[in-house]
Structures are given as structure tokens and as C-alpha cells.
Amino acid sequence: MSRIGVLPVKVPEKVTVSVEGEQVVVKGPLGELSQNIAPDVTVKVEDDKVVLERKNDSKETKSKHGLYRALINNMVQGVSEGFTLQQELVGVGYRAEAKGQILELSLGYSHDIHFEIPEEVKVETKTERRKNPIITLTSPNKQLLGQVAAKIRSLRPPEPYKGKGIKFVGEHIAKKAGKSASV
């Protein structure tokens, strides 16, 4: 049995879950999300819970059972509470500025980078004196939020010698020792 798949998803009061054919639609105060479900997995909405069951015990169906339960749980949590990711720009002269849905980044290249953020994701930047700039991304869609954060990080990934680059707040970068002086 799938340890994750058998757990029911609790639905808060302000959230509604509906199943339309092979599509699950979750509506809440922060928006609406939908997910297509494979025909091997059935979704039932009972009172304030969502229960997933699989039709057979093949390896592929077992893996989808836990996957779709996790996706539906993320959708319910996203439309009720939302998700937030924070990234930190570590490096001298690194700057970030949000202008609407455009994120302007100065990352030590010869040019500034203008990164367009999708409409579903809200972006804020915070720059304090003597501290690293912080980019805060918020969205009800966890999948999209992670994808946008990964794309921003790929513009200047943290390097292992000085730790410069874009990293998640609280992330530990394992640093390497540089060249040792010969005697």
C-alpha cells in the first residue's frame, strides 16, 4: 500500500473540491487550480475529505496513487494558505528590484537581467543596508512557484568557493577549500 496515497486530504471550510471526469478542480480564497488525474486512480469527495483509490496494483498505478494525493494536497493548501519562497542574492553589488511582474537583477554580468514573472506568482524585493537583497515569491501553485524560483537561481547559481550567487534563505552552501599555498 502507498503510505501517502491512502491518507485522506482534509479540506478546509472555505475550499471546495469538485471532480469533473478525469479533472480535479480546487477553488478557494486565493484562486482556483485544476489537475488532470490518470484513469487508474479514482478521486472521491466525502464531506470534508478527499480520498484517492487505485483500480489495480501495478507498479505504475501505485506510484501515481501517492503522486496525485500529494498534488491534490498541495492544491488544497495553496488555495487556502498559499506558498512562499525566499531567495537571497549573495555577492558584492548584486541587486534585485521588482517592477510589476518584471524582476530586474544585477548579478555581476555586463548587463542587467530583466526576468518576467508569470501572473500567478507575486514577487517582492527587500534591500536593507549592509544585508543581502531578498526576493520573496508567493503563489497558490507550488509547482509553478518552484519552477520560477529554480529559473531565477539558474541565472547565477551559488558557487562553492566564496558562496556567491542566488541561494534560498536558510540554505547551506558547502564551501570548498581553495588552492593551498605550496611550501
pLDDT tens-digit series, residues 76-125: 999 999 999 999 999 999 999 999 999 999 999 999 999 999 999 999 99
Mean pLDDT confidence for 60-72: 92
CA separation for the pair 143, 77 (Å, rounded): 12
Q: Yes or no: say if 169 and 88 are a contact pair by the CB < 8 Å rule.
A: yes
Full set of structural domains in the chain with CATH: 9-80 (3.90.930.12), 83-168 (3.90.930.12)
The answer to whether the Cα torsion of 103, 152, 76, 61 is positive or negative is: positive
Across 163-168, average pLDDT: 95
Q: Does the pLDDT at position 3 exceed 90?
A: no
Q: Does 1 have pLDDT greater than 60? A: no
Amino acid identity of residue 181, one-letter, is: A
- Main-chain dihedrals φ then ψ at residue 123, nearest 5 degrees: -125, 140
In this predicted structure, the answer to whether residue 182 has a pLDDT above a threshold of 70 is no
Burial class (CB in 10 A: 0-12, 13-18, 19+), 105: buried
pLDDT value of position 2? 64
Q: Which amino acid makes up residue 53?
A: E
pLDDT, average across residues 165-178: 92
Indicate yes or no: pTM above 0.85: yes
Q: Rounded to whole angstroms, how far apart are CA atoms 75 and 101?
A: 23
Cβ atoms of 133 and 117 within 8 Å: the answer is no
Q: Which of 133, 17, 153 is nearest to 73 (CA)?
A: 17
For 59-66, the CB contacts below 8 A with 24+ separation are: 62/2, 62/5, 64/38, 64/40, 65/2, 65/4, 65/5, 65/41, 66/2, 66/3, 66/4, 66/5
Measure CA of the first residue to CA of the last residue in the chain; give whole Å.
Answer: 61
